[in-house]
Amino acid sequence: MTGPDVPGKPAPIAPDESPDRAPLPPGLATCPVIAILRRLPAHAVLPLARTLLGSGLRVLELTVDSPDALSLISTLRDQLPELTVGAGTVLDTVTARAAVSAGAGFLVSPHTDRELLDFARYTGVALIPGAATASEAVTAWKGGAAAVKLFPASLLGVPMLDALRDPLPSIRFIAVGGIDAANAADFIAHGCVAVGVGSWLVGRGDPDSARQRAGLLMSTLGPSRP
């Protein structure tokens, strides 16, 4: 018989895999990078996604504040089935429901929101909520988050990641915000399961520039993968 919780004893953090925790996109095991496309011209998205896929990236986040975001998520899902496409900047359950209906394979939010966590658990979709403190990270993880987005990562820095992971080693972190080829490998080496890379990688949507930067990013991450 299980007794009551001991007063003053912290509840254990949920294990890495729980029945309510959706898995991360499998492509992150091959390349631990989420390419983030935010507010690019709609006509640039598909050619850019093809370029990123050809460069070895397998996971892409299209923010819902982008032009024609929902229709583009459906198009990317249909035309590039090797790519897992998620919806980013999801702020509420109405948007989350629309994104999932459009075919989003995962959801990303800049904050930790209990309603979004409940929605993700109910639908089985992977949610990656943002957190900048231990309290937010624990709330997100106990709520069933697939991973916790350390945001804004470049401002919080690797020392903050280390400070969070020391007492919370089972939480999966993804560093997002100001990530580029100069710091991505450090975040991976210090325990992040992936990084999200946006403006540095994709700029304004030029495929040639994105191809060059993706190659540079992949070369820096090669020896640093877990």
CA atoms of 130 and 117, how far apart (whole Å): 12
3-state secondary structure of 126: strand
Verify whether residue 61 is a known catalytic residue.
yes
- Looking up tokens 């992971």 gives 165
The kind and range of the H/E element at 70 are helix 69-79
Q: At what angle do helices 207-221 and 42-54 cross, to 10 degrees?
A: 40
Provide the 10 A C-beta neighbour count for residue 149: 30
Round to whole Å and give the CA distance between 141 and 126: 12
| Cα-Cα-Cα-Cα dihedral sign, residues 111, 116, 120, 121 | positive
Angle between helices 69-79 and 42-54 (to 10 degrees): 30
Active-site residue, from 61, 82, 115, 142? 61
Confirm if 26 and 186 have CB atoms less than 8 A apart.
Answer: no
User: Which residues does the annotation mark as catalytic?
Assistant: 61, 149
